[in-house]
Amino acid sequence: MLVAGNWKMFKGPADAASFCEDLRGRELPADVDVVVCPPFVSLATAVQLLADTEIAVASQNVHWADDGAYTGEISAGMLRELGVYGAIVGHSERRQYFGETDETVARRVRAALGAGLFVIACVGESEEERETGETELVLRVQTEAIGEAASDATNLVLAYEPVWAIGTGKTATPELAQKAHAFVKSLLDVPVLYGGSVKPENATELLAQPDIDGALIGGASLDIDSFVAICRAGAG
């Protein structure tokens, strides 16, 4: 079971330090892998404060080039040098607001895995796509693009995040989430996390589904008590 907290554009270095100091003092389940994903400016702080713990630090994005004229981007090598363990790739907000495509997601996945980073690659349909019956088509196209980019999927997990449930307070029912996870796993045999308004109140039921291997948490990961509660909900 893997639980990752995506802080999005929250928690600069001072807030990140306070959170990480608190988190390292909490009792977390031994059978749950815990990851925090701060914004770029807070990665070094998180890496330093969590260095002697089992809690991993991942970035929220990574570029496909080793270096070059890519203003505002960060390479996998830079993240590795900082001590970062992994990266989220293809989050729905990157696709929606910053022009991320299946092709660029695949290039980022390939580069990150090639550099030795652990990758959480995101897939998911919009509300319009679900209402028009295109969910499985969208998931197939997105998942197959990622699978083709990952020659070795050892360090790859997927995150199914129905776009209509990101930051909206809406959550897929456990049955709906389970069905989507089973479908994604039929396309690519890797662990699949659920992301989409996961909260302490619904985490236990969601994480109990047979094909849900953990959670990618957004807003609920910003509060230490909420995040720890979800981590504990994932314990076997």
By annotation, the residues acting in catalysis are 91, 161
Residues 202 and 171: their CA atoms lie apart, in Å, by 9
- Distance between CA 15 and CA 10 in Å, rounded? 9
Q: Yes or no: say if 147 and 90 are a contact pair by the CB < 8 Å rule.
A: no
Going by the DSSP 8-state scheme, the letter that residue 32 receives in this structure is S
In whole angstroms, what is the distance from residue 112 CA to residue 18 CA?
A: 29
CA-based torsion, 140, 142, 146, 149: positive or negative: positive
Helix then strand then coil, in percent of the chain rounded to 5, is: 45, 15, 40
Q: How far apart are CA 123 and CA 115, in angstroms?
A: 22
CB-based contact 87:56 (threshold 8 Å): no
Radius of gyration of the chain from its Cα atoms, rounded to whole angstroms: 16
